[in-house]
Structure 1
Amino acid sequence: MTERKAWCLSLIPVLFFFISFFTYYCSYAIVQSYAGTSKSVKSHNSLCAGRLTQKKWESLDLNISRRTQLFLKLDDFFWREHLSTLPLPYGIKGSELQLLKVLAVTANCQMPANIENLECRTCVVIGNSFAIKNTSLGGTIDKYDVVIRLNDAPVRGYEDDVGNKTTMRFFYPESASYNPGLNNQPGTLQIFVPFKQQDVLWLKEILYNEKRGRKGFWKPPPQIWLGDFAQIRVLDPHFLHQTAEKLLRIPLSAKGKQIHPTTGMLAVVVALNYCDVVHIAGFGYPNSRNLNDPVHYFDHRTMKSMKNSYHDLSHEAEVLKRLEDSGAIFYLHPHS
């Protein structure tokens, strides 16, 4: 009897060890499961907190104030109190009547409520550069609240690198796709950027089904546009003016060849005004002087085609570097 009692007592440490191990294992598993959940939430929250608390780029003198009125609207008829003194693309002087007709059809000037009401807006601007090819960033890009794309850059067939989500697409007549539905989701906002008076005329003719003019374009724009008119927004020229004068510091009126900001640089400035987090991908051109280097991720155009461009690409690259160094933007992929 005494031996049996001693044997049972000898099992107590072993039993205690197994009970302790089982308790520790279950506790660890539970803690890890919660840790995994909080980690993903913390990642998003910290992304927003960093943007909201660290405004390192205020020294850039951009007067960024999270302005939510991005588009021209009919009820205030653009700067009624302060009439514009500049023509397009930096003002609306001389285009008031045509814009009035356009806005009479595209009356909606709002952003979707699910984006407008966000406490923190995470945004990514997707450029068309060859630099985004083979990056496999598609899944990452689709997680942002706002995905901004440019011109007629395709999505179909390139989803692995550029994603599938599109919140806004910036375009002008020469860069418009005749059928926006091919590479955009149904709710995508079509952000019209007028660079010249003919651009506004083109949109008016599309909206009112009038005879299309063909003069004044460096490339024939679509004569048929199959997009949803309700999704069109006309970008306020304030942002192009801000991009040129405050950021790029290029002359707004000059004799000879006029230099204008690229649509990509404009989209970055709009994002800086509207979003709390601004990341970019697909920006940057080859550093080499080889004119046969590819320009875009989706076609066979080379640097030779950019030789007579109305943009100062090297200067814009320097400005993007300054924005990156200041913490205003963040690249999703390595770049030179």
Structure 2
Amino acid sequence: MSLLNGKLFSKNTSKQKMLNQLFGALILGVISLGIFCSSMHLRTYPPKIKQKIKMQKPSRTHLHKSAHITQNKWGSINSTKFLDYTKNKRCFFLCDTEDNNNCFDAEETVLVYKNDVWPRKMRFMQEIRPRLNQRTYLEEEQYGTLDGVHCNISIYYPELRTLHQSKTCAIVGASGQLINSGCGPQIDAHDFVIRANLAPIMNYTKDVGNKVNLTGINFNKLETIFKNLVDKTSDDPEHVDMVENIRYLNDSVLWFTKATTARHAAEKLKVIASILKTGYKLPIQMAYIMRSSSVERRFHLKKGVYASTGMNIFAFARTFCQNITLYGFYPFDENHHRTPIWRHYFENATFNFQSQQHDMVHEFTKLSAMHLRGEVTMVTDKCSMNEKDQTRHIHVPKSFNKTLLARELQLTVGKEEMKSLMEKYVN
């Protein structure tokens, strides 16, 4: 009997131990769950925002009655709704003044990194929906500016700036028509000078000028710069030439005119900026566009072809230039005197002006029509000393189909005015 009682006592003791262990585990689980739930409002944030939230816990008085965020019974913000809502904020116009006097369409804005921004901090992100930290979000919600379409760039993109408005701008193309044109002094007389794809300036200043404020580059030129700076050794002639060409630009702006999300462009731009600014201590400034815009659709170019770099530059320049003059936009092998000319003023390159990728003759037709309507000035002959003496005449080669220009004009000015402009100004 005593043995039996001993066994019973042993069984009861083991059951009690198991119950104690289960009860202890249950208590520990409840405590862990409470800690987990109380910290959930931080876990949905990215790591950089978590630290800010810990330091900036808003009081209930900061929450506007119409806020699109909620508080739970512990006073925590429903962070999921917060992040979802701020992603929907969109800047339709970017302004560089507090009174919104100087604003740009967000999809047509050239953004320049400030000189004090380190290359490793440059992201080249094409995003017009800025993320707000919690304090900024609550302030905008309280003052009713959260849904405003005008965004001050110093607030939402403090590392960037826009280009200032200029009264007169010159865009210099690469056509061989510039050879012996004597346009250099006239080009340099403009307030702002834009060039394309690092076309050489030295040894050609008499015809193309010396001044440069902005240089636009496309995918092909970006790839060339990257290969020469990264794949070539520092003593390689191509590497040295590329550095010297960019050094010649001084503190002007090197601007990538295409989408940074394609072909690893953003990563290449970061590397290029690091080599030039950190490695060689060059004062060159880096720029890109806020969002890749369809220049082809805006100017009704032919379907299936892409706008040339010159056409892209012209489209964006209209946002910060009041008066534009085009030089070297002449896609022909001969001039109006039937004299053969090089395709580039610095080399006799071999490429087609009309191809599956670009139709520069069609672009020339569009720009000529704009010239005749007074929307832009296009120089197609030698330059006079005084730009005011420049006539509205368009000099075209014999091979150019003037009927195409007449049709383009008639779309906007009417038949009679079209005939008058064609007879008077098109040679």
State the TM-score, normalized to the length of structure 2. 0.45
Q: What is the letter of the counterpart of residue 179 of structure 1?
A: V
Letter paired with 1:138: G
Matches of 2:296 and 2:364 in 1, distance apart? Answer: 14
Task: Tell me, yes or no, if the aligned pair for 2:333 and 2:342 is still in contact at 8 Å.
Answer: no
Look at both structures and tell me which one has the larger radius of gyration over its CA atoms.
2
| Corresponding residue of 1:126 | 172
C-alpha change, 1:171 and 1:139, in structure 2 (3 Å) is: same
Match of 2:296 in 1: 244
Mapped pair 1:300 → 2:348: yes
1:79 to 120, 128, 133: 128
Counterpart residue identity of residue 193, structure 1: T
For residues 144-166 of structure 1, the C-alpha deviation after alignment (integer angstroms, 9 at most, x for no partner) is 11100000201000000000000
Q: Distance in 2 between matches of 1:235 and 1:187?
A: 19
Q: Counterpart of 2:328?
A: 282
Per the TM alignment, residue 315 of structure 1 is displaced from its structure 2 partner at its CA by: 1.4
- CA-atom RMSD in angstroms: 3.7
Distance 1:309 1:128 in 2: 20
Question: Do the aligned partners of 1:280 and 1:331 also contact (CA within 8 Å) in 2?
Answer: yes
Change (3 A) 1:127 1:203: same
Mark the CA change 1:250 to 1:152 in structure 2 (over 3 Å): closer, same or farther.
same
User: Tell me, what secondary structure is at the counterpart of 1:286?
Assistant: coil
Instruction: Supply the distance in 2 between the matched residues of 1:183 and 1:129 (Cα, whole angstroms).
Output: 24
In structure 2, the partner of 1:110 is 161
Q: Deviations over 1:40-89 (max 9, x none)?
A: xxxxxxxxxxxxxxxxxxxxxxxxx86594228879962218xxxxxxxx
Identity of aligned residues (%): 21
Give the aligned partner of residue 32 of structure 1: none
CA contact (8 A) 1:146 1:167 kept: yes
How many Å separate the matches in 2 of 1:78 and 1:279?
A: 31
Query: Is contact 1:146–1:166 with CA below 8 Å preserved after alignment?
Result: yes
Q: Which residue of 1 aligns with 2:268?
A: 202
Separation of aligned partners in 2, 1:66 and 1:80: 15
Residues 1:183 and 1:285: Cα distance change in structure 2 (over 3 Å):
farther
Structure 2 partner of 1:146: 192
Q: Structure 1 residues 273, 182: CA separation in 2 closer, same or farther (over 3 Å shift)?
A: closer
CA contact (8 A) 1:122 1:276 kept: yes
Partner residue in 1 for 2:217: 171
1 or 2 for the larger relative contact order (CA 8 Å, sep ≥6)?
1
Are the aligned partners of 2:216 and 2:255 in contact in 1 as well (CA < 8 Å)? yes
* Alpha-carbon distance in 2 for matches of 1:317, 1:186: 31
Tell me: CA distance 1:315–1:237, structure 2 relative to 1, closer, same or farther (3 Å): farther
* Distance in 1 (alpha carbons) for counterparts of 2:126 and 2:220: 26
Superposition TM-score, scaled by structure 1 size: 0.55
Instruction: For residues 259-297 of structure 1, give each alpha carbon's deviation from its aligned partner in whole angstroms, at most 9, with x where no partner exists.
Output: 211110111111212111111111111166x9x962100
Give the match for residue 24 of structure 2. none
